[in-house]
Amino acid sequence: KAGVTQTPRYLIKTRGQQVTLSCSPISGHRSVSWYQQTPGQGLQFLFEYFSETQRNKGNFPGRFSGRQFSNSRSEMNVSTLELGDSALYLCASRRNSGANVLTFGAGSRLTVL
């Protein structure tokens, strides 16, 4: 079956712009989590959605937001981009919030100039 699909894979933005990243989970998976990965901070939990509802949120400013659609696809948005937002954004899905294994996508690498 198809894995977790993230688009776009690479993108370059300038400070002050906004960006939207997309994640399509494995078919049948209803939970989608987002992580930010940077060399300095490692993998940081952003938020998790289940059945279109945000279930958990990490310690990020309000510029980071997300949503989930009825087909379980999820988007995350970062507004007013800063240089420090340059990172690999990873999406992961699991069947439900109590399921154990997260299956990750290949990531979206964002560069902010």
Partner 1 sequence: AQKITQTQPGMFVQEKEAVTLDCTYDTSDPSYGLFWYKQPSSGEMIFLIYQGSYDQQNATEGRYSLNFQKARKSANLVISASQLGDSAMYFCAMRESGETSYDKVIFGPGTSLSVIP
Count of beta carbons in the 10 Å neighbourhood of residue 105: 22
Q: Among 19, 90, 110, 112, which residue interacts with partner 1 (rule: CB under 8 A)?
A: 90
Q: Among 7, 14, 27, 56, which residue interacts with partner 1 (rule: CB under 8 A)?
A: 56
Q: Contact between 48 and partner 1 (CB under 8 A)?
A: yes
Residues ≥6 apart with Cβ < 8 Å to 44: 35, 36, 37, 38, 58, 59, 60
The least CB distance from residue 100 to partner 1, in Å, is 5
Residues of span 1-30 touching partner 1 by CB under 8 A: none
Are 108 and 8 in contact by the 8 Å Cβ rule? The answer is yes
Structure tokens at 82: 């800063």
Identify which of residues 86 and 97 has a Cβ nearer to partner 1 in the complex. Answer: 97
Site residues (vs partner 1, CB under 8 A): 33, 35, 42-43, 45, 48, 50, 55-57, 88, 90, 92, 97-98, 100-107, 109
